[in-house]
Structure 1
Amino acid sequence: MSTITLTDLTKHYDSIAAVDGIDLDVLDEEFLVVVGPSGCGKSTTLRLIAGLEDATAGTIRIGGTDVTDSPPEDRDIAMVFQNYALYPHMTAAENMTFGMQSVTDYSSAEIEDRVADAAATLGITELLDRTPDALSGGERQRVAIGRALVREPSVFLLDEPLSNLDAKLRVHMRAELSKLHRELDTTTVYVTHDQTEAMTLGDRVAVLNDGTVQQVAPPQQLYDFPANQFVAGFIGEPAMNLVPVRVRDRPRGLVADHEGFAHPLPDGGSNSALVDRRLTFGVRPEDVLLAGRSATGHEESFEARVTVREPLGEQLLLHCTIGDDELQVKVQPRRDVSTGDTIRLCFDQQRLHLFDPETGDAIYHAASEDQPAKPTPSQ
């Protein structure tokens, strides 16, 4: 079993807490992605697991064994770095096997077999005799991953391995990494600042901020049911719309009241604790819908003015003002909407969220996790 368990893991640099009491379990054979903004502690956490940094407090267990004070070579891990860390004077094969004979009991023949197998898996068999300067960025990254594969570790650690690649190659390498994990079933912790990588690669995603874990969940659950306002605003491109409201009690139930709209809260009518509270209302851009002309008399629809129009090919992103706030709205790419137009909008009833503006905690989701929201209708 190659589980990883972090308990109250802490790392201080003088008075700065880079990692601040993290509790995190990585399951056997799981692909866990750690994501967050720059400086949130994600790479430091990975280096603590690898043994490249000493923990200030807390424990690290790999496969049930406490390795908190163990050197890296005793942890049965392999790490892939952001900058590849290839020796320029060595061939790809030499880079993949450097140091193996001094730290393992494998014979030269066994090491050659491992290199051949890893190269075949990664599609770099014909590149083994080349030095790094004769390789593309994607090929260098494959060699760096191959160096980890030949060791057949219990745990793979990857620190932003795709960040130096161009956009097209990143998409290709994401698919390759996902396929590789399915073939190897090795416990993997992958650090990135790119939420697209996080959502597409991870079995689960851990969101970090200020050295603490904000939420750990499967990608879709993280997207649909953010635990707090930070996760709601960080996950998603563009991020969730967040605007201030006051919850009021109306004859039809509770209403989120904003200067630009008054929208009922489904199934929220019995939650008297929300009444008259100033909260943060959240809705994702794809869940803000264009309302038809027949909706003008409905309480749920409201007017907004289009200030920016961004054609993105597969969709059209509209920036709209409501009162002093802005809503971003995703619609079909060929909708006849221009900058300066006044349009009518409404919200998908099942995809509304409320957050406490002081703590940031989520206190209301229109859909429950047991009964996920229905698909958003196309616009």
Structure 2
Amino acid sequence: MARIQLTDLEKQYDDVLAVKGIDLEAQDGEFLVLVGPSGCGKSTTLRMIAGLEDITSGTLRIDDEVVNDVPPKDRDIAMMFQNYALYPHMTAAENMKFGMKSVSDFSSDEIDQRVEEAAETLDIADLLDRKPKELSGGERQRVAIGRAIVREPEVFLLDEPLSNLDAKLRVQMRAELLRLHEELDSSTVYVTHDQTEAMTLGDRVAVLDAGELQQVAPPQELYDFPANRFVAEFIGEPAMNVFPVDVHERNGHYVADHAGFSISLPDGEGLDTASDSSVSMGVRPEDISLASNLPDDAETFAVETTVREPLGELLLLHCQLGDDEIHVKVEPRSEIQPGETIEVGFDEDRLHLFDARSGDALYHSTAPEATKSEPVVTE
């Protein structure tokens, strides 16, 4: 296992600053996921860790050793690419062996043994004589993983390895990657643009946007306590509802006013700041309920349904709230139709306020516990 530390790491391409002073640490044995939209700098960051991109400024340490100028082959790192990078003229076994002699002192017999053991672990022992064109997408991916694990490196770097697979196989391979991570007890940095993948795989998830680190936290903390509006809307499917409100203090309590409602806000840190600012309220679709499912004294309001999306396990309603559209999750067999006006209310324990200009979180109606930001470390 190894610890990876990025300190004020930057990457400049001509006049474009692709990575902007990232400070991040991956703990020993941790599965750390870098997630963000295309062009956010996540793959560039991964390639700097691997040594495939020069570092413009900042410091990269692996186990407290500065490795900015250390060649990739000397970093004890294995990287798996999105396209798997298998040689078409080589068999699966030859692809898995490729490069081992140049980065290790293993004998041919030891290399063969490692390939056989990796193939058994990955359930591809009967495919070792086949070439990539004779393998399915999932089998090619397993070969690429096998090529990485035969070296038993300190660090695994994976750059969107599941993006070329169909939906069913992606789910299967997510579970496979987690199982392998537990077995190999290695440090892993994983890049993806898929927030569902990030949430299911990561011990912690680092969210990037426009080359900047927005937040790093365990998946549930990201979901429940986003640091800003970007994280709130990027993490979660469908995205968090966000709309403008005015916050005022009335009779010793704070109230959020919108064209479609006026509701009381539970006491909490940040409300005094929110009352003096232009703010947006955030509420996740599952935190909006039909009035019939709420207590009699709950504060409710009317919205008009415009679109219904049956998703099997739930029904997603697109609703008009004043001039804003919001999404509401309801029971899958609900008979609510477009054009109907329905009465709904918010879960008062799941409300968020963001600064309308900076996007920074000002208030969560349930405050995060102090311990939730601590890294998850695999012993």
Shorter chain as normaliser: what TM range? over 0.9
Decide whether the 8 Å contact of 1:263 with 1:299 is kept in 2. no
Q: CA deviation at 1:251?
A: 2.3
Whether 1:305 aligns to 2:297 is no
Asked if structure 1 preserves the Cα contact closer than 8 Å seen for 2:305 and 2:338, the reply is yes
3-state DSSP of counterpart to 2:244: strand
CA distance in structure 2 between the aligned counterparts of 1:342 and 1:316, rounded to whole angstroms: 16
User: Which residue pairs with 1:100 in the alignment?
Assistant: 100
Q: Deviations over 1:299-356 (max 9, x none)?
A: 7200000000000000100000011001100111011211110000100010000000
Quote the residue 2:325 is aligned against. 326
State the match for 1:360 in structure 2: 359
Find the aligned partners of 2:56 and 2:106 in 1 and give their Cα distance: 35
One-letter identity of the residue aligned with 2:365: A
**Separation of aligned partners in 1, 2:358 and 2:36:** 19
Q: How far does residue 103 in structure 1 lie from its aligned partner after superposition?
A: 2.8
Cross-structure match for 1:161? 161
Distance 1:73 1:269, change over 3 A: closer
Which blocks of at least 5 consecutive residues in structure 1 are unaligned?
373-379
1:64 Cα offset (Å): 1.3
Structure 1 runs, 4 residues or longer, greater than 3 Å off: 268-273, 293-296
Contact 1:89 1:131 in 2 (8 A): yes
Look up the SS of the partner of 2:216 in the other structure: strand
Match of 2:343 in 1: 344
Distance 2:180 2:79 in 1: 15
Is the 1:35–1:207 contact (alpha carbons within 8 Å) kept by the matching residues of 2? yes
Say whether the 8 Å CA contact 1:2–1:28 is kept in structure 2. Answer: yes
Cα separation, 2, equivalents of 1:99 and 1:301:
64
**Cα distance in 1 for residues equivalent to 2:58 and 2:270:** 43
Q: Which residue of 2 aligns with 1:145?
A: 145
Which residue identity lines up with residue 248 of structure 2 in the other structure?
R
Q: Shift in Å at residue 294 of structure 1?
A: 8.9
Letter of the structure 2 residue corresponding to residue 209 of structure 1: D
The residue identity in structure 1 corresponding to 2:41 is G
Q: Scaled by the length of structure 1, what TM-score is found?
A: 0.95
Instruction: Report the Cα offset of residue 272 of structure 1.
Output: 3.2
The CA deviation at 1:150 is 0.5
Contact residue 304 and residue 320 of structure 2 kept, 8 A: yes
CA distance in structure 2 between the partners assigned to 1:355 and 1:137 by the alignment: 43
Partner deviation per Cα, 1:231-282 (whole Å, 9 max, x = no partner): 0010000000000000012226111110001111101499433325320100
How far apart in 2 are the matches of 1:268 and 1:171? Answer: 39
Paired position in structure 2 for 1:370: 369
1:157–1:190 contact (8 Å) kept in structure 2? yes
Deviations 1:138-159 (A, max 9, x none): 0000000000000100000000
Give CA deviations for 1:169-228 in whole Å, capped at 9, x if unaligned.
Answer: 001000100111111110000000001110000000000001111000000000000000
Structure with higher RCO (Cα < 8 A, 6+ apart): 2
Question: What SS is found at the alignment partner of 1:292?
Answer: helix
Distance 1:77 1:295, change over 3 A: closer
Q: Which residue of 1 aligns with 2:67?
A: 67
CA RMSD, Structure 1 to Structure 2 (Å): 1.7
Contact in 2 for aligned 1:317/1:331 (Cα 8 Å): yes
Distance across 2 between alignment mates of 1:96 and 1:223: 38
Alpha-carbon displacement from aligned partner over 1:90-116 (angstroms, at most 9, x marks no partner): 000000001212332100010011101
2:30 corresponds to 1:30: yes
1:199 partner amino acid: M
Partner of 2:53: 53
Hey, what's the Cα distance between the residues in 2 that align with 1:45 and 1:221? 23
Q: Once the two structures are superposed, what CA deviation does each residue of 1:57-100 show, in whole Å capped at 9, x if it has no partner?
A: 01111111111111100100000000010000100000000121
Equivalent pair of 1:91/1:131 in contact (CA under 8 Å): yes
- Asked if the contact 1:254–1:269 (Cα under 8 Å) also holds between the matched residues in 2, the reply is no
Q: Which moved more, 1:247-256 or 1:67-76?
A: 247-256
Deviation at 1:359, TM superposition (A): 1.2
Task: For 2:177, give the aligned amino acid.
Answer: L
The separation in 1 between residues aligned to 2:175 and 2:122, in whole angstroms, is 12
2:173 counterpart of 1:173: yes
